[in-house]
Structure 1
Amino acid sequence: MNLVAVNIDSIRIGQPLPFALRTERGVLLAHKGYVITERSEITYWTSRGMTLCVDVDASDDHHRAYVGKLHEMVRSERPLGDIVNVQIAPSDVARAEAPERPDVPDWTALQLKANALLRDTGSEQFLPRLDKLYAELHQLVQHHPDATLFALIHLSATEMRIYSATHAMLVYVVCSLAAREVLNWSPELDAKLGKAALTMNISMTALQDQLAMQAKPLTVTQIEAVEQHAQRSFAMLLAMGVDDEDWLLAVRHHHDRAPGALAPKTDAMRIARLIQRADMFAARLSPRLGRLCMAPSAAMQAAYFDEEKKVDEAGAALIKAVGVYTPGTLVKLASNEIAAVIRRGLNTTTPHVAVLINRQGMPTGEWMIRDTSQPSYKITGYVAHRDVKVQIKLDSLLALI
């Protein structure tokens, strides 16, 4: 481990870290992609005598940044003392990286953080930690919506053991996109929407994870817990001191069957309806040990039509926002290639994709990007993750988006 001190004044608040932060002894403080939302987080570490460092050996980007900074200082004939004490900043790393390369968060770490939070509802720090999780997801969906969708759809389809946390994050992300891009809701509603989506199932987080891995039918006790979880989650939040009425009522009513236009509804009931549609859509896309996942078109259709078989305003907004073929899903092309959807397109059925398996049925050595609006690369069908025997490296695909 080759630790180099970081100039703390150059760490960008509200932006994903381009590197992991460690102490001078190598203890991990924040993983790459973590979002520091307040300067007080940094002063908390430094006030305890910690020197914030990065491991130069852990990343080629950091090595290039460090060496480049040294060369720059030598060429400008800076004093020897300055050169010896050189510190690298995030801006130095950004210049050393490939042009316009997006920040790629550690999604496994984010999954684990969300899972730990939602299973630790008795902690006094639950609400502050929830604020930080929401802020991190909000930044990601604002600045990297397609990459965020890709990661969460992919993880929902391939990792069942942390189902509840991944599901909650995915529901917030698709709701946030629909609210902002289609329904034109005010930014002030996003925090209420996000916290309601993340906490709607806190009374049954462990049970949800258990059911994802359970092949047998639900027991009577499990059915009762599922049926009562909305009210119990509402009661838990109330006991924690949550006093935002819209957040509380959205959680309490997020399983209500309440078709109809959104405009006449209160903010709380509009949020609840949007979450209800997204909850249904995301659940159908995710496999369980006891059942296969549903094709995206079928999952979308279930969300698109309401309980009266009419077009649902909230469900239609979700489809317009994320597309029929959502980033993270796998598809077959007219060219007989198998590809992963990486970016939404000009309409809901023509996304951009990266080819995983060529027309000869062989894995591709390099990612080939296709525009499915072109007839020769038109999407002809959906492919389940279980049917593709190619290991998808999440970080390398996210770097393309």
Structure 2
Amino acid sequence: MKLLRLCLDQIGVGRPLPWNVYNDAGQLVLRQGHIVRDEAQREGLILRGAYIDHQVHGEATDTQDFHAVREHAATLWQDVRTRAETLLLEPGEAQPFRRGLKVIGGHIEFAVVHHLDESLFELLHREGRNTPAVSHVIQAAFLANMVAIRLGWPNAMVRSTVHAALTMNLASLQRQNALHERARPLDAAERTDMAEHGAQGRLLLEMLGVEDRDWLQAVAHHHPPEDGRSLAAWRHMAGDMACLLHHVDLYLAKVSSRAYRGALAPDVAARQLFHRGGGAANPFASALIKEVGLFPPGASVRLANGELAVVLRRGELAHLPEVCAVQGADGVALPQPVRRRTCEPAYKVVAAVPRGVITLPAEATALH
């Protein structure tokens, strides 16, 4: 049995494990479905070494029963992260790669239908710390799936879009992981070099047996050329799928921090994307903002009474999300998260705040 070591982000506290866990000798430590009771147990597992069966995890067939994994958003996304880190960082042979990507894409499609708000919460609040570049393409694939459905694309095109999003940075994931913590942005020469990763990714995918021309085109052209051409001209050259990937990629970059800059609040990022992208005339920016909203699940917001809260779910109206307060107006963490009714004047959402401003207590994760 070939073992794959887990990292801290892949084991959730209070959530059932989606796989059997072994020690480095291949001995069973915890069975699938076991609930890790607290942070101490989770950290102990990581320190001692927690492993899963690489074959069971990375080479699943379409006939596998994913019911236990997909029952909860948290376990589904743990499984997606672990599979994606194995598959995308070390693609391996063509057939297992395509099969593994199909499993990951299936998980994402299921999450959009059955765990939409919970998945937005998970993706915004549980970004992988060890492999941020992989976390980014997972987030992109999920948002692209949502937006493609809103745009009315046929199922086959939606599925190709998800696969394209997962693989759009295939040629540069290792480099992007390293750049994530760098204290300065790319210089002109580095930007030119990075601009080639789409074309390089297409070549890698062709070597891995991908024949879907729309998928390959989207990966090759998901970054628009810096020549000042209009959205319409670029769209005609690159195609709708590439345009959608670019807008999702750009939004996620805005709401994520880097070592040299902070993250934008989701409402600020959405407004920038909308206005700088041509406003209502841009169908991709418009559809993305309508799907995600100004205050998506997982976002941190400030309430009228000064409290800081975390969005649990989108509300029937965009400005009335379901939230729980986690920090008082005095800056002190509340003893327990408290649900607030944002329709009441005292608890009205007055602004979103950037990711990382508040730390979500473990108790709040169970509320969504």
Distance, in Å, in 1 between the alignment partners of 2:356 and 2:73 is 28
Distance, in Å, in 1 between the alignment partners of 2:345 and 2:181 is 40
1:103 CA displacement: 5.0
Please say which of residues 106-115 and 289-298 is displaced more in the overlay: 106-115
Q: Tell whether 2:91 aligns with 1:116.
A: no
Paired residue for 1:131, among 102, 109, 115?
102
Distance, in Å, in 1 between the alignment partners of 2:77 and 2:119 is 9
Distance, in Å, in 1 between the alignment partners of 2:306 and 2:361 is 19
1:176 counterpart residue number: 145
Matched pairs, number: 322
Give the letter aligned to residue 184 of structure 1. Answer: G
Residues 171 and 205 (structure 1 numbering): CA distance in 2 closer, same or farther, change over 3 Å?
same
Residues 265 and 164 (structure 1 numbering): CA distance in 2 closer, same or farther, change over 3 Å?
same
Q: Secondary structure at the match of 1:215?
A: coil
Q: Secondary structure at the match of 1:331?
A: strand
Equivalent pair of 2:306/2:328 in contact (CA under 8 Å): yes
1:400 CA displacement: 2.2
1:36 CA displacement: 11
Q: Tell whether 2:42 aligns with 1:26.
A: no
1:299 CA displacement: 1.2
Q: Mapping of 1:1-400 within 5 angstroms?
A: 20-22=18-20, 26=28, 40-41=63-64, 102=72, 104-105=74-75, 107-108=77-78, 110-124=80-94, 125-156=96-127, 159-180=128-149, 182-218=150-186, 222-256=190-224, 259-260=231-232, 269-307=239-277, 311-388=281-358, 390-393=359-362, 396-400=363-367
Give the letter aligned to residue 124 of structure 2. Answer: I
Residues 310 and 288 (structure 1 numbering): CA distance in 2 closer, same or farther, change over 3 Å?
same
Residues 280 and 18 (structure 1 numbering): CA distance in 2 closer, same or farther, change over 3 Å?
same
Equivalent pair of 2:83/2:100 in contact (CA under 8 Å): no
Instruction: Write out per-residue CA displacement over residues 291-342 of structure 1, whole angstroms, 9 at most, x where no aligned residue.
Output: 1111222211232135556642110101110111111111110021110111
* Cα RMSD (Å): 3.4
Instruction: Write out per-residue CA displacement over residues 339-391 of structure 1, whole angstroms, 9 at most, x where no aligned residue.
Output: 01111112333211111113454323333222323332111223234432x45
Equivalent pair of 2:62/2:103 in contact (CA under 8 Å): no
TM-score between both structures, scaled by the size of structure 2 = 0.76
Equivalent pair of 1:306/1:312 in contact (CA under 8 Å): no
Residues 39 and 110 (structure 1 numbering): CA distance in 2 closer, same or farther, change over 3 Å?
closer
Residues 114 and 219 (structure 1 numbering): CA distance in 2 closer, same or farther, change over 3 Å?
same
Instruction: Write out per-residue CA displacement over residues 171-200 of structure 1, whole angstroms, 9 at most, x where no aligned residue.
Output: 1111222222x3222222221010000000
| Gap regions ≥5 residues in structure 2 | 1-14, 36-56
| Gap regions ≥5 residues in structure 1 | 1-16, 43-88, 91-100
Residues 21 and 223 (structure 1 numbering): CA distance in 2 closer, same or farther, change over 3 Å?
closer
Distance, in Å, in 2 between the alignment partners of 1:385 and 1:117 is 28
Give the letter aligned to residue 187 of structure 1. Answer: N
Q: Secondary structure at the match of 1:104?
A: helix
When Rg is computed on C-alpha atoms for both structures, the one with the higher figure is 1
